[in-house]
Amino acid sequence: MKKNKSSNMKFAVIMTLLVVVLLAAIVVLSNKQETSTTEIQHIDITGQPSFGEEDAPVTVVEFGDFKCPSCKAWGERVYPALVKDYIETGKVKFSFINVLFHGKESTLASIAAESVFERNPGVYWDFHQALFDAQPVENHDASWVTPERILEIASGFPEIDQTLLKEDMEQQATMENVKIDEELVREAGVSMTPTIVINGKVMENPFDYEAIKATIEQEIKDEN
């Protein structure tokens, strides 16, 4: 009898522990699903390259680095759908902020992009895409962002004065704009690229387009 009583008690304890563990797991999973975004303070996109309706109810900001392979992948996998579903329909305004996580090459690419944005804003986004397209398919850490390579890329755009672009890169003429971006990166606490922010909400997984859509739809609903 004592042995059976002891066995029953052990079984009850084990079952209780299993229930506790199961409940804890459910709570963790539920919290994870509910916190697919985190809030940050307002991002000042004044003067930043932007695409879409000025008065769109939702602003999507990408913190990206021209040397970042994941940023290139995001631009290929997620950005086109975002453009089609929300930017071209007037629901979203999209802005890009330079991140310099890859050092001198990131800085040089940003200086060049800012130069094109200042002098030829009409071709900025195409040049922006061309810089990402120029990333090597393999060995991403290899040095490839050079003044010569950037001028080669710019040669595909008749609107860009290569002499002026060369001077801007040599003189770091747009460094003030790049430093503004650096400050925005610090203020937002950006630690990875790409970081996607929707009306102040940071997406935990920038490649989860369903989560991006859900967040945008909720923001539109809240605006109405």
Residue 16 pLDDT greater than 50, yes or no: no
| Whether pLDDT at 94 is above 70 | yes
Q: Is the pLDDT of residue 91 over 70?
A: yes
- Model's pTM, two decimal places? 0.82
pLDDT confidence of residue 8: 52
Tell me the mean pLDDT in the region 132-139. Answer: 91
DSSP symbols for the chain: -HHHHHHHHHHHHHHHHHHHHHHHHHHHHHHHHHTSEEE-PPP--TTS-EES-TT-SEEEEEEE-TT-HHHHHHHHHTHHHHIIIIITTTSEEEEEEE--TTTHHHHHHHHHHHHHHHH-GGGHHHHHHHHHHTS-SS-TTS----HHHHHHHHTT-TTS-HHHHHHHHHHTTTHHHHHHHHHHHHHHT--SSSEEEETTEEES-TT-HHHHHHHHHHHHHHH-
Is the pLDDT at 17 greater than 60? The verdict is no
Residue range 134-145: mean pLDDT, rounded = 88
155-204: pLDDT as tens digits = 999 999 999 999 999 999 999 999 999 999 999 999 999 999 999 999 99
Q: What is the pLDDT of residue 132?
A: 97
Q: What is the pLDDT of residue 142?
A: 85
Model confidence over 48-80: pLDDT tens digits? 999 999 999 999 999 999 999 999 999 999 999
Please give the share of the chain, as a percent, with pLDDT higher than 90: 78
Q: Domain map of the chain by residue range?
A: 38-223
- Domain 38-223 has what CATH class? alpha beta
d(CA 91, CA 51): 11
Angle value at C-alpha 207, between 122 and 130, nearest 5 degrees: 30
